Chains A and B, each alone.
Chain A
Amino acid sequence: MIWLTWRQFRFQATVTLTVLAAATIYIMTTGLKMHHAYAVDIAACPHPQIGCRFFLSFQNGYDAEQRLLEMLVLAAPALIGIFWGAPLIAAELERGSHRMLWNQSVTPNRWLAVKLAILALAALLTVGVLSLLLTWWSSPLDQRTDDRFGAMTFATRGITPLGYAAFAFALGTILGLLIRRTLPAMAVTLAVFIALQILFAAVLRPNLLPSTTATMPINATTLSQVQGIGTGSDPSGPVEIFGPGPAGAWILSATNVENSSGHEISGTQVGTCFNNQSLDLTGLGDCLAPYNLHIDYTYQPAGNYWPLQWLETGLYLAFAALLGGACFWRIRRHRD
């Protein structure tokens, strides 16, 4: 059975291994170069925690590569669902060869168990290697951008890709069994997988763990820790804080700057401070402190990163197990 699974899967395996090998070589060569350059630059940087000029050019220099690799890690689970999962049983049903294969002294259940186990393992390994490579490759960049919770970053680093891969594979398999035709099963697999990915990023992930709500008064201490303050293009519009909150936190929502009675203030109300070009953020904080301003914001603290990674991965793995079970249920009730 293992031999036949390999034999049927040989083409996909060859393609996957080729892509994996190419990606590994590319990531290793560019990665080693980048890590070396980063180590040299950071050694020359007197206060890395505050920042150095090279950081920006460093980020810009690797931006395109990073996006490309993120796309690869994000697409890998979907591709596994489409090209491994969907045809796994559907191709046999479509060709009618299940009538031959399922009559070879092996029950369809056992047959399915072997195929699911081998390919699920291969899927986890493939995506695991990719995720590990990207996590390593982009570690200097991720350290600087401090955007671990970004939709793209969260879904392509750490362990979440493993959950996606197992899920997409099981999803493709069950849809192939239900639809019985490879191409439609592939299309539906992709659609469902993308829909769930979006649902997770936009709705579920922020609410998987209880978030923290906090109030930040506007003064010299607090403003020195944010990225900026200001209005939009209209100077009399509401005032926003850019990049509020503790370092590494995931800001889910933040109000505009409000006064002590909870009303939004406009840029013109604090015009004397804003129009003084000589003030830096600390100086601006000192100038604004007497107005008694604050913002309210909600965030996931940095410490929730790994709990969230585990939770999301666990949920996807649980879905995968559920769908895997559904495959056995379905194949027993297969009506030829």
Chain B
Amino acid sequence: MTAIVEAHALGKRYGARPALTDCTLHIPPGHVVGLVGPNGAGKSTLLKLACGLLTPTTGSINVLGGRPGAGPVQIAKVGYLAQDAPIEPALSIADHLKLGAHLNPRWDKAFAAARIEGLGLDPKQKAGKLSGGQRAQLALTIATGKHPDLLLLDEPVASLDPIARRDFLKLLMDTVAEHGTSVILSSHLISDLERVCDYLVVLASAQVRLAGEVEELTAAHRWITCTRRDADTLPAGVEVVSAKHTDRQSTFMVRSATPVPSGDWVSEPVGLEDLVLTYMERDTPAGRVAPQNLESTR
């Protein structure tokens, strides 16, 4: 099957400011992908490039094997929910569903109607009068109702309260399970993603810091705590991701393809949150570790 996103040296600049630099990604299909990074890291830019609202400044991107926004067939395959959950304020909820039905060949009328009913929304209500959460739900219904193969969600839960957030994510998982839809959703909250994502892309300062399946990533990383020492005294084949030193102790996050050998250290598994934060704080992109910088990080 074709990759959901295939990017080569993808870059986007707004004037002189780079929003995304040298981004190379290969995301296999059938995943729920978490796109995580601090505000301004380039998450929205990457999603807009994937749906065709933006065109790359450099490099290339293919989504489900096609150029984003290339034509109605490509647009039909990709559902997109923008960051602020845009709707047409003057149109009613029913109008929005009608709009979806008119404009999308694969529109799932029953699903959309059932969702609105399930949310307890009045179809006659004007979309402009909805609360932030309801608005996000409506926008998601439209993005999902077109029955895409890939759903791009930009900060979908940001405006939702904790209960709505839980329901939203549950519904998303149901949709994925039912239709086999691939999803990329962005958030700056790792806790949102931890529950639903099985693939992770970490962005920081317009660059991809880490990308891979969650299980593989957590299996490949370990915390090593030991008496104070230099990073290069650790066993060969172990890549040091971060190093932190106190007077007596050193803590390393290491990445290793094979299990870390035992020694005079304590080796512990790494949680997803720690993993993401560590990679976000690193100032070099994945795969280009400059050893001299390691001492100063973290």
Contact = CB atoms under 8 A, between A and B. Distances in A.
Nearest to B98: A3
A104 B53 contact: no
A7 B95 contact: yes
B135 to A, nearest CB: 11
A330 interface: no
B89 A95 contact: yes
B48 interface: yes
A107 B88 contact: no
A8 interface: yes
A33 B77 CA distance: 63
A99 B84 CA distance: 10
A4 interface: yes
B69 interface: yes
Nearest to B89: A95
Given A97-B88, A100-B82, A336-B54, A105 B48 contact: no
Contacts of A96: 82, 84, 86
Given A1-B103, A3-B98, A103 B88 contact: no
B87 A103 contact: no
Contact of A104 (B71, B82, B95, B100): B100
Given A7-B95, A95-B86, A335-B54, A103 B71 contact: no
B184 interface: no
A100 B103 contact: no
Contacts of A242: none
Most buried by B among A11, A96, A336: A336
Interface in A83-99: 95-99
Interface residues of B, number: 35
A105 B88 contact: no
Interface residues of A, number: 23
B104 interface: yes
Contacts of A99: 53, 80, 82, 86
Given A110-B72, A336-B54, A103 B78 contact: yes
A102 B91 CA distance: 16
A3 B102 contact: yes
A100 B86 CA distance: 6
A43 interface: no
B51 interface: yes
B139 interface: yes
B69 A107 contact: yes
A8 B72 CA distance: 22
Contacts of B64: none
B146 interface: yes
A3 B75 CA distance: 20
B11 interface: no
B105 interface: yes
A106 interface: yes
Contacts of A335: 14, 54-55
A334 to B, nearest CB: 8
Contacts of A95: 86, 88-89
Nearest to A104: B103
A103 B68 CA distance: 11
A106 B72 contact: yes
Contacts of B27: none
B104 A104 contact: yes
B51 A103 contact: yes
Given A100-B82, A100-B142, A336-B54, A106 B103 contact: yes
Nearest to A335: B54
B71 A100 contact: no
A84 to B, nearest CB: 16
A4 B97 CA distance: 11
Interface string A1-42: 101100110010000000000000000000000000000000
B87 A97 contact: yes
A100 B75 contact: no
A100 B146 contact: no
Contacts of B78: 103
B102 A4 contact: yes
B290 to A, nearest CB: 34
B55 to A, nearest CB: 8
Given A107-B69, A107-B72, A100 B102 contact: no
Contact of B79 (A1, A4, A97, A103): A103
Nearest to B103: A104
A110 B72 CA distance: 9
Contacts of A100: 82, 86-88, 139, 142-143
A95 B75 CA distance: 21
Interface of A: 1, 3-4, 7-8, 11, 95-107, 110, 334-336
Given A100-B143, A104-B146, 16 more contacts: A3-B102, A4-B99, A4-B102, A7-B95, A96-B82, A96-B84, A100-B82, A100-B87, A100-B142, A103-B75, A105-B104, A105-B105, A105-B106, A106-B72, A107-B69, A107-B75
Interface of B: 14, 48, 51, 53-55, 69, 71-72, 75-76, 78-80, 82, 84, 86-91, 95, 98-100, 102-106, 139, 142-143, 146
7 contacts: A4-B103, A8-B90, A95-B88, A99-B53, A103-B75, A107-B71, A110-B72
Across the A-B interface, give the 9 residue pairs with the lowest CB-CB distance, nearest first.
A99-B82, A104-B103, A105-B76, A96-B86, A336-B53, A103-B80, A105-B104, A97-B86, A100-B86
